[in-house]
Structure 1
Amino acid sequence: MGREKPHLGTVQETLLIPLYARAVENRKEQALLRDARAEEIVASIDYDAPGGSTLICRTSSSCARSSSPTAAGGR
């Protein structure tokens, strides 16, 4: 299955943050919660936020938006 390019409103876009955090947490060896479906959903979407910002999650509870990954501590 290919990656889908969704068209999201403000509320739906905001809900990507906890979805992505759940997917990140699921990848941990000793995760506090398991949500394989969140990981599947995140892997299936191809989403660029308006203004070219990128969603960056360094930990399961710390997500930030940035116009460049290096600005938020990403690589």
Structure 2
Amino acid sequence: MSKLRVGMIGGGGPDSFFGMVHNRAIALDASRELVAGALRSNPEAAMRAASDYGIEGYPTYQALLEAVQSGEQALD
């Protein structure tokens, strides 16, 4: 069975309590994987945070949603 592909908006990245908790919860569930995110309100910080997680980063939540709607990014 393929994993559910998850995108995260907000959370602040690996140095944020909320981001860390959500990332860890997703990682502990073998049926899901975090693949994309717009993690910070500052576009440069959002891209750095995504890189720290090893996921596809987006500078804004609007950019992430546009990528999903256009089919560029596949999330479930």
TM-score normalised by length of structure 1: 0.26
TM-score normalised by length of structure 2: 0.26
Q: Which has the larger share of strand? A: 2
Q: Larger radius of gyration, structure 1 or 2?
A: 1
